Amino acid sequence: MESTWQHTTVLLQEAVEALLTRTDATYVDATFGRGGHSRLLLSRLGPQGRLIAFDKDPDAIAEAARIDDPRFSIRHEGFRHIGELPARSAAGVLLDLGVSSPQIDNPARGFSFRNDGPLDMRMDTTRGESVAEWLAGADVEQIAEVIRDYGEERFAVQIARAIVARREDKGPLATTSQLAQLVAGVVRTREAGQDPATRTFQALRIFINAELQELQQALEASLDVLEAGGRLVVISFHSLEDRIVKQFVAKHSREVFDRRAPFAAPKEMKLRALERIKPSEAEVKANPRSRSAIMRVAERTEVA
């Protein structure tokens, strides 16, 4: 039973306080996870408020089914699908980009190098290709590119060569332990306290779930879904995600001049950056997995 794996929502109070501007409006929890943010939001919404959630993970959908509230609904889809909601229909969009603790701690999901399990890593186990299936057919260049670009791993080529050599000698990798042990044999130096396989597992998870591409799509979609004054709140957990969010907010927080028409009025900015928040020392002490979190808050400007 998954209930044996507990999840502590990161920046719970801070995210809901930043997101909620009206109690009678519609909000979007684009990454339901195990429902921490959603439950707190619902407790603060009035009778006319609405909350629409999204998640790809079947376990998250099952958890959401436990919420008996007519103001709440969830879609078994990735957060890029928020663009299908009506334009200007939401007063806030929340994206919590972290992998939930049950996903990490459950060996059957294959996200962690600490527990042996099938080498899967799919957020949605009902569709798509697992990491094991992809590694069984990818060549050295493809594997190295993924590990380098999404894991910022300087030993990416050596790891890729070792994966392909192992595949040709003993067959494809099938479990998390096999991959972790192989990487440990290649990566001889690593930052203090970091497992040699950390960057490789991160890279493969991001790639197999197209996480960065989906994030970019969801951010762009939020501009259409948010009403004027609506809040965009994004919690990221590594530099690749945060860089995308930071650049997106910066891009849409300035007026754009058309050089081909120097006398034309500039296009108005679409967002206003409000806050950058990190977990408190107390939260990090209570939940070490929160230590890398960064929350960025922006507000949708007036919509023409």
Query: Residue 304: pLDDT band by 50, 70, 90 thresholds?
Result: low
Mean pLDDT of 87-114: 85
Residue 8 placed within a domain:
yes
Residue 254 has pLDDT above 80, yes or no: no
Read off the DSSP letter of residue 99: P
Residue 4 has pLDDT above 70, yes or no: no
Same domain, 7 and 64: yes
Same domain, 273 and 285: yes
Burial code of 13-47, b = ≥16 C-beta within 10 A, e = fewer?
ebbbebbbebeebbbbbbbbbbbbbbbbbbeebee
Q: At residue 222, what is the residue type?
A: S
pLDDT of residue 6: 62
Same domain, 218 and 187: no
pLDDT of residue 2: 43
Mean pLDDT of 149-160: 96
Q: How many CA atoms lie within 13 A of 297 on its CB side?
A: 18
Greater confidence (154 vs 105) lies with: 154
- The domain tally of the chain equals 2
CATH number at residue 256: 3.40.50.150
Residue 44 placed within a domain:
yes
Angle between helices 211-225 and 198-208 (to 10 degrees): 50
Residue 82 placed within a domain:
yes
The structure's pTM equals: 0.89
Same domain, 258 and 178: no
Q: What are phi and psi of 26, to 5 degrees?
A: -100, 135
Type and span of the H or E element at 48 = none
Mean pLDDT of 50-72: 95
Residue 118 placed within a domain:
no
Same domain, 173 and 218: no
Which domain does 177 fall in, by range?
Answer: 135-208
Same domain, 172 and 220: no
Decide: 61 and 76 in contact? Cβ < 8 Å: yes
Dihedral sign, Cα of residue 114, residue 118, residue 123, residue 129: positive
User: How far apart (Å, rounded) are the C-alpha atoms in residues 241 and 159?
Assistant: 23
Mean pLDDT of 240-269: 76
Mean pLDDT of 218-238: 96
- Of 208, 243, 260, the position where a domain reaches its end is 208
Same domain, 196 and 232: no
Cross-strand bridge partners of residue 29: 53, 94
Q: For residue range 129-146, what is the model confidence (pLDDT) as tens digits?
A: 999 999 999 999 999 999
Token pair recorded at residue 53:
């959630």
Q: How many CA atoms lie within 13 A of 204 on its CB side?
A: 31
Same domain, 81 and 167: no
Q: Say how many residues make up the chain.
A: 304
pLDDT of residue 257: 47
Residue 127 placed within a domain:
no
Q: At residue 221, what is the residue type?
A: A
Same domain, 196 and 228: no
Residue 282 placed within a domain:
yes
Q: For tokens 């206003």, name the residue.
A: 272
Q: Which of 192, 296, 152, 177 is nearest to 236 (CA)?
A: 296
Cross-strand bridge partners of residue 96: 235
Residue 129 placed within a domain:
no
Q: Which of 15, 58, 62, 65 is nearest to 40 (CA)?
A: 15
CATH number at residue 190: 1.10.150.170
Residue 43 placed within a domain:
yes
CA 202 centroid distance within chain = 12
CA angle 296, 300, 302 (to 5 degrees): 160
Decide: 95 and 235 in contact? Cβ < 8 Å: yes
pLDDT of residue 271: 95
Same domain, 196 and 170: yes
Mean pLDDT of 243-247: 97
- Of 208, 243, 269, the position where a domain reaches its end is 208
Q: For residue range 265-289, what is the model confidence (pLDDT) as tens digits?
A: 556 789 999 999 999 999 999 988 8
Same domain, 158 and 215: no
- Of 178, 208, 238, the position where a domain reaches its end is 208
User: How far apart (Å, rounded) are the C-alpha atoms in residues 254 and 250?
Assistant: 7
Greater confidence (194 vs 85) lies with: 85
Mean pLDDT of 105-126: 86
Greater confidence (280 vs 263) lies with: 280
Same domain, 97 and 7: yes
